[in-house]
Structure 1
């Protein structure tokens, strides 16, 4: 397995000894229209650092995959500071979110042009510091099938992934359209084990989850704790069904903290909700520590590095 690219340099998979968060935001800006709270900026950086440092000490948090990409207010300089000051390695991302958040550069640009933009960023780095992204995501669509601009952005993500060896994490709005995303990405030559289909815990359909896993993709239960979208009770039921079907090796878990109101200091569930609230319920339902380690540590490593299931321990 190759090293994991983090904002502070390469990290060997063996160095990830504790759990990872597979889909988070530490610095982003999704404010638009009447929604002014979808932001994590320099006013919140110290709070983010504090949460991650506490989780490293208490829970052994060893990695955060940060999926803010182009057009999402990505700030790799902030990510580097957060990583250094908290002591938690952070993976930065590239790609384009779903259509309402596409920057003008997507416009009517062709797939080749978009691919070149991503490959250049992956090989040369982001910003003046040249920080290298370690994943492509969260590349998005909304609805059961991607829109025309989303198709171009997804195809570019897949081609850039094939060219550079990075994996792709998607945004499937409210969990919908995952099968279409997977079909589109694999049609461009990207193996399914290099793909994670996002927000599946928002879709109350265990059959879809099994189909994605059976086709070899990772299935993200990555909005844990966002009770206004879905109850954790439903998430728990869906996850237990997927585990019972033998697909724990295809699960990624996270909380998708995407606004400052979710931070613990503002009364929110915080980045640690997965570990402090949800995993105890999973254990109480009979899931053993080896499977929890699989879903929270080994699977994220395998996803990022492209390792086959039997290659990462």
Structure 2
């Protein structure tokens, strides 16, 4: 069992504090029709400073969930990993219907699965840099469209062929139950699945349903208070930890815009460590539990 990073396989014990759902280099500015290119992230001195803050906080692993159609840059991720001595895990797959490349609508589930398998076993973006998991496989707000269902099916095929885990995108926290039903229909081992953006899901019963299945969930939009306040996310997380689910929760910030970066007035990647983790500690969460969410759970989830 190894963690498959952009610079090669690593022993899971090399994975320390982990951001489980991030973007470092990607481009959704065209999809979002932005003139200012706010949704285009690049390898710049500003990113260097952000990463140094993460490293100073003890973070050495970043799980990069940009996939085909999101402006992913395998060479760019490799360069960042080498420059900063990071474990970066890159993803294969397709995001959600509004962002799909045109061919996703035309190809069969089997053909899409073959593309993902090649990126895991051979390399991405015309390189030999391999994807280390399947993500962020998404559904739309309050629905899973037929084409999204096809992509989920393709992801499951690729997962079963390679063993690579799957991480999902639940738009504003919705459709976790619908995604779960797809995985159950195809008899997927839920211990290799992680449901994204569950800190935006205010339905506690649905969160518990996902956890009871054996899957992981992600509180991964920490700092995005316009969606839901961090204080509410802390309260929500405390309930889940009190129910005993400390071994199935992982954390991140999901930085997707230049305006999220500290240098540009945003909360930045390190917000997780400099703000949210201290809030958890103040609320009585132990260091042992925090290390499970930041280190031990990602190690188990990512290794195959």
TM-score, normalising length: structure 1: 0.93
1:237 aligns with 235
1:272-287 correspondence to structure 2 within 5 Å: 272-287=270-285
Aligned position for 1:65: 63
Question: Partners of 1:20 and 1:7 in 2: how far apart?
Answer: 15
Extract unaligned runs of 5+ from structure 1. Answer: 307-313
User: How far is 1:33 from its partner?
Assistant: 4.3
Deviation at 1:186, TM superposition (A): 3.2
CA contact (8 A) 2:142 2:171 kept: no
- Equivalence map 1:1-313=2 (5 Å): 2-16=1-15, 18-31=16-29, 32-35=31-34, 36-42=37-43, 45-56=44-55, 58-305=56-303
- Output the CA distance in 2 between the equivalents of 1:110 and 1:137: 19
Normalising by structure 2, report the TM-score. Answer: 0.96
- On the 8 A contact 2:53/2:270 being kept in 1, the answer is no
Alpha carbons 1:27, 1:39 under 8 Å: kept: yes
Query: Per the alignment, in what secondary structure is the counterpart of residue 155 of structure 1?
Result: helix
Aligned to 1:169, the other structure's residue is in SS state strand
1:310 maps to none
Partners of 1:48 and 1:182 in 2: how far apart? 35
Would you say the 8 A contact 1:21–1:65 is kept in 2? Answer: yes
2-structure distance, mates of 1:37, 1:127 = 23
Which portions of structure 1, spanning 4 or more consecutive aligned residues, are displaced by more than 6 angstroms? none
Do the aligned partners of 2:62 and 2:87 also contact (CA within 8 Å) in 1? Answer: yes
* Separation in 1, partners of 2:135, 2:246: 22
> How far off is 1:50 after superposition?
2.4
| Distance in 2 (alpha carbons) for counterparts of 1:97 and 1:213 | 23
Whole-angstrom CA distance in 2 between matches of 1:84 and 1:50: 15
Q: Gaps (5+ residues) in structure 2?
A: none
**How far has the Cα of 1:225 moved from its partner?**
0.3
- What RMSD over aligned residues (CA atoms) do the two structures have, in Å? 1.2
- For the residues of structure 2 that align with 1:89 and 1:267, how far apart are their CA atoms? 27
